[in-house]
């Protein structure tokens, strides 16, 4: 049986599991979404959401300096235990996040954290663009909302496509790590430094 993209998307939305895990689970159960959910639960991938309430008092602060020394990042990622914080998998994950921040320059961790002043300024710019294009008001409003949603996605770390795998957002990558390491994790904060920036 062929597995469609919409089936994979539906399973991802219901479980928070990674794209390949969803695709493999659907193949395993001949495309039955409910059976695929059970399959993923057995593997522990769908358990990430259950861990969301667990306290994250341990973790790691990672630094990444891009070759040439013109861009650097400090990032803090928290987990539940020191044991997980010391694993190679967790360290590699945090390093990848630091490298991603260096490459993409997000403004905040979450779209909800974006400064309202910045969003209002962008809204005014988008309104001006829509008016310049001569769009009717009801069309212009939809265009502005769409452009604002795109701005949030491009400038919030959790919504960005991961630079090493653009098919997966940072949020989905985080859920995959929570599932594979069996602990809740939180990307707490980051700072990005750039010469002349």
Mean pLDDT on 114-131:
88
Please determine, for residue 16, whether its predicted confidence score (pLDDT) is greater than 70: no
How much is the pLDDT for 52?
65
Rounded mean pLDDT, 123-133:
85
Supply the DSSP string of 74-127, one letter for each residue: EEEEEES-HHHHTSHHHHHHHHHHHHHHHHH--SBSSGGGS-HHHHHHHHHHHH
Q: Degrees (nearest 5) of the Cα angle 189, 193, 197?
A: 130
> Taking Cα atoms as reference points, which of 103, 132, 124, 111 lies closest to residue 192?
103
All domains in the chain, ordered by first residue: 5-43 (1.10.8.10), 52-109+156-194 (3.30.479.20), 115-155 (1.10.286.20)
Chain centroid to Cα 165, Å, comes to: 11
Percent of the chain with pLDDT over 70: 91
Element (H, E) at 178: helix 170-181
For position 79, what pLDDT does the model report? 93
Residue 24's pLDDT is 85
List, in sequence order, every residue forming a beta bridge with 194; answer none if it has no partner. 71
Q: Of 25-34, 58-67, 147-156, which range is least confident?
A: 25-34
**Whether 157 contacts 170, CB under 8 Å:** yes
6/26 Cα distance (integer angstroms)? 12
pTM here is 0.70
- Measure the CA dihedral 94/100/101/102, to 10°: 110
Average confidence (pLDDT) over 49-74: 86
Query: Which is higher by pLDDT, 137 or 94?
Result: 94
Tell me the pLDDT of the chain averaged across its residues: 87
């Amino acid at each position: 049986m062929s597995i469609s993209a919409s089936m994979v998307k539906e399973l991802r939305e219901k479980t928070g599991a990674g794209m390949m895990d969803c695709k493999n689970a659907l193949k395993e159960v001949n495309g039955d979404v409910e059976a695929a959910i059970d399959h993923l639960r057995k593997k522990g991938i769908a358990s990430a959401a259950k861990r969301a309430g667990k306290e994250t008092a341990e973790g790691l602060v990672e630094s990444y300096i891009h070759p040439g020394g013109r861009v650097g990042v400090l990032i803090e990622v928290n987990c539940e235990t020191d044991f997980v914080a010391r694993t190679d998998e967790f360290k590699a994950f945090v390093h990848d996040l630091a490298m991603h921040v260096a490459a993409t320059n997000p403004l905040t961790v979450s779209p909800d954290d974006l400064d309202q002043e910045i969003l209002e300024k962008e809204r005014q710019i988008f309104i001006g663009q829509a008016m310049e294009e001569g769009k009717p008001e009801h069309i212009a409003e939809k265009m502005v909302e769409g452009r604002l949603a795109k701005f949030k996605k491009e400038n919030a770390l959790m919504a960005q496509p991961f630079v090493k795998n653009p098919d997966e957002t940072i949020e989905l990558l985080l859920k995959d790590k929570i599932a594979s390491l069996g602990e809740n994790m939180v990307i707490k904060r980051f700072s990005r430094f750039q010469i002349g920036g």
